[in-house]
């Protein structure tokens, strides 16, 4: 792939993602937006735009949730809820807004998981929340996948109570429907605003009539006036969305300004040595194309700040101290070209060898010792295999790295640039290892192994099964079966498939990487974990 074809490939890939982001932003579509406006209500995205400070950036979390899922019930763009980081009256908030243009804001399984992820980010980073509630509750045909488990709908309300007990402020505004069990969310918050025409009740007029034979109006059961004057459930009654958002901004202004832990060190920010826009010139969409990871780092960190750690050892992983927007951090990354080593000869880029795992484990421990947040830049095929690697102790070295990352007390942020395969995903802080935030480029791929390797493995298993049944597949059948496996695997390794299931928080464009990390680090360094750093029994 030459420079021109690489530029064209990037243009096509980014163009496709941008078009799909625009489609997601339309929620339930133009007709549903019109219906929302006819009720005198703003859409979820319009509400967020009116809530956050003018000119400030809203960093969306889980934009691609439910992408390509639930087609039998109609598409669920963004899983019918918008979540993200925004500034209100100069203070940082996690904002969670139901999108009533998508199935009246009903909860799908991914809706619950997305809200829980947003709450977890807020809890870990001691970040106040604002909920803009406009939801009909659980999508009944899928209730068995939403209702009962510890990572389902009810956990949201448990988190409301725990967040409040932790002293993390929660403001809620009922700006439409808020029915059945969903009614507990706003009532468990610290301050509650409600607009005229909205409804807050466990059971609506029809259900009350059928259940107990009582005839009651919408207003008698759960109108804003009733809850303001009779039940006393709400704190503020507002006539419309605009006045409700103004009230929320006024309430936000009463909260303390953003906290910053004194454990983490900062200096004055310096622009990077290279323009972040050059990242698409350094890295191509072709996963086989080699590149120099230090060039990538130069586009992300403050100029002159990168100090490489053990530069001559374990060369397939590049680690070092740096600053991003003035914030001191540690960097753990994969080199993406072969490296010549003194002891082991040529080593493949993107592969974790025992020396590089040892180096990275010690570096992670040192970052914990000195309170440096760690930024992981993933483009990894996995750990090296074979006799020499096994005898050198690759499993032991990998276990050390996994243990160090698992027990880290400092904030971890992960960016997946390309491949994220097998145990390499774990060793560079994949979702299972509690990164404060995890982002991915459109070129990223998630899988246990590459499509070609997987196809060969699965094909051999299927052929052996056919032979046991007395069937000998011919060459055409084998090729057809192989292609089916490759097509299915490539669909599942597409980063949008991962983002749809919440395995990454957001798909970002390479040129935005530095800006996104600066914004995320400002959130991640609000709070330092008081627990001492310890690793338990450790492989040596």
Higher pLDDT, 461 or 67: 67
Residue 475 has pLDDT above 80, yes or no: no
Together in a domain, 404 and 293: yes
Residue 260 lies in a domain: no
Together in a domain, 357 and 395: yes
pLDDT class of 448 with cuts at 50, 70, 90: confident
Together in a domain, 210 and 157: yes
Residue 7 lies in a domain: no
Together in a domain, 288 and 437: yes
pLDDT class of 150 with cuts at 50, 70, 90: confident
Percentage of the chain lying above the pLDDT 90 cut: 78
Into how many domains does the chain fold?
A: 3
Together in a domain, 175 and 233: yes
Q: Which of 42, 94, 114 is nearest to 499 (CA)?
A: 114
Together in a domain, 521 and 382: yes
Domain that holds residue 240: 25-254
Residue 111 lies in a domain: yes
Instruction: List CB contacts of 6: < 8 A, sequence separation 6 or more.
Output: 280, 281, 284, 285, 286, 289
Residue 515 lies in a domain: yes
**Backbone dihedral region for residue 260 (phi beyond 0: left; psi -120 to 50: alpha; all else: beta):** beta
Q: What one-character DSSP code corresponds to residue 26?
A: T
Residue 513 lies in a domain: yes
What is the pLDDT, as a whole number, of residue 66? 97
Is 440:419 a contact under the CB 8 Å cutoff? no
Together in a domain, 419 and 457: no
> In Å, how far are 330, 338, 348, 366, 423 from 383, measured between CA atoms?
22, 15, 11, 23, 7
Read off the CATH number of the domain in which 332 is found. Answer: 3.90.226.10
Residue 34 lies in a domain: yes
On the 0-12 / 13-18 / 19+ scale of CB atoms within 10 A, 29 is: middle
Average pLDDT, the chain: 93
Query: Domain end: 254, 289, 307, which one?
Result: 254
pLDDT class of 207 with cuts at 50, 70, 90: confident
pLDDT one-digit tens code per residue, 70-127:
988 889 999 999 999 999 999 999 999 999 999 999 999 999 999 999 999 999 999 9
Together in a domain, 229 and 330: no
Q: Could you give the CA distance from residue 338 to residue 84 in angstroms, rounded to a whole number?
A: 39
Residue 310 has pLDDT above 70, yes or no: yes
Q: Could you give the CA distance from residue 524 to residue 411 in angstroms, rounded to a whole number?
A: 6
Give the Cα-Cα-Cα angle 175, 177, 178 (nearest 5 degrees).
100
Together in a domain, 520 and 483: no
Phi, psi angle pair for 469, to nearest 5°: -90, 5
What is the pLDDT, as a whole number, of residue 383? 92
Q: Which of 23, 197, 20, 27 is nearest to 100 (CA)?
A: 27
Residue 536 lies in a domain: no
pLDDT one-digit tens code per residue, 404-437:
999 999 999 999 999 999 899 999 999 999 999 9
Residue 300 lies in a domain: yes
Q: Could you give the CA distance from residue 254 to residue 242 in angstroms, rounded to a whole number?
A: 19
- Long-range contacts from 474-483, C-beta under 8 angstroms, 24+ separation: 482/455, 482/456
Together in a domain, 429 and 464: no
């Amino acid at each position: 792939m030459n420079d021109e074809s690489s530029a064209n490939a990037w243009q096509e890939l980014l163009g496709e993602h941008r078009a799909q982001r625009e489609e997601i932003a339309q929620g339930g579509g133009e007709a549903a937006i019109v219906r929302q406006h006819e009720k005198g209500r703003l859409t979820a995205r319009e509400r967020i735009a009116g809530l956050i400070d003018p000119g400030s950036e809203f960093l969306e979390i889980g934009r691609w949730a439910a992408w390509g899922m639930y087609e039998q019930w109609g598409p669920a763009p963004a899983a019918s809820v918008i979540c993200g980081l925004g500034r209100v009256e100069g203070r940082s908030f996690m904002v969670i807004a139901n999108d009533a243009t998508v199935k009246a804001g009903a909860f799908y399984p991914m809706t619950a998981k997305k809200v829980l992820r947003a709450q977890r980010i807020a809890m870990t980073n001691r970040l106040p929340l604002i909920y803009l509630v406009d939801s009909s509750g659980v999508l009944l045909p899928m209730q068995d996948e939403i209702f009962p488990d510890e990572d389902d709908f009810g956990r949201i309300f448990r988190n409301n109570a725990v967040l409040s007990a932790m002293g993390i402020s929660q403001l809620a505004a009922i700006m439409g429907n808020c029915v059945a069990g969903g009614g507990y969310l706003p009532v468990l918050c610290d301050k509650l605003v409600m607009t005229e025409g909205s409804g807050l009740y466990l059971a609506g007029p029809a259900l009350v009539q059928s259940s107990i034979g009582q005839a009651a109006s919408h207003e008698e059961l759960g109108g804003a006036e009733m809850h303001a004057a009779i039940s006393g459930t709400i704190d503020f009654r507002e006539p419309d969305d605009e006045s409700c958002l103004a009230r929320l901004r006024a309430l936000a202004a009463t909260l303390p300004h953003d906290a910053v832990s004194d454990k983490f060190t900062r200096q004055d920010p310096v622009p990077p040595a290279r323009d972040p826009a050059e990242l698409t010139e350094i890295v191509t969409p072709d996963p086989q194309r080699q590149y120099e990871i230090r060039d990538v780092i130069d586009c992300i960190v403050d100029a002159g700040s990168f100090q490489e750690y053990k530069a001559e050892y374990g060369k397939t992983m590049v680690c070092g101290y740096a600053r991003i927007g003035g914030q001191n951090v540690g960097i753990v990354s994969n080199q993406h070209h072969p490296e010549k080593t003194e002891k082991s000869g040529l080593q493949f880029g993107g592969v974790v060898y025992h020396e590089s795992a040892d180096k990275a484990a010690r570096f992670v421990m040192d970052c914990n010792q000195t309170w440096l947040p760690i930024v992981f830049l993933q483009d990894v095929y996995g750990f090296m295999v074979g006799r020499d690697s096994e005898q050198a102790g690759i499993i032991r070295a990998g276990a050390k790295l996994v243990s160090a990352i698992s027990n880290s007390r400092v904030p971890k942020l992960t960016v997946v640039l390309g491949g994220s395969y097998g145990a390499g995903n774990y060793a560079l802080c994949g979702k299972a290892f509690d990164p404060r935030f995890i982002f991915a480029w459109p070129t990223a791929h998630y899988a246990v192994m590459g499509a070609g390797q997987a196809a060969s493995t699965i094909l051999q298993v299927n052929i052996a099964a056919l032979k046991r049944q007395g069937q000998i597949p011919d060459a055409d059948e084998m090729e057809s079966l192989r292609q089916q496996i490759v097509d299915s695997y490539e669909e599942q390794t597409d980063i949008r498939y991962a983002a749809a299931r919440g395995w990454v928080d957001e798909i970002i464009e390479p040129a935005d990487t530095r800006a996104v990390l600066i914004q995320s680090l400002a959130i991640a360094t609000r709070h330092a974990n008081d627990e001492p750093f310890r690793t338990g029994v450790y492989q040596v």
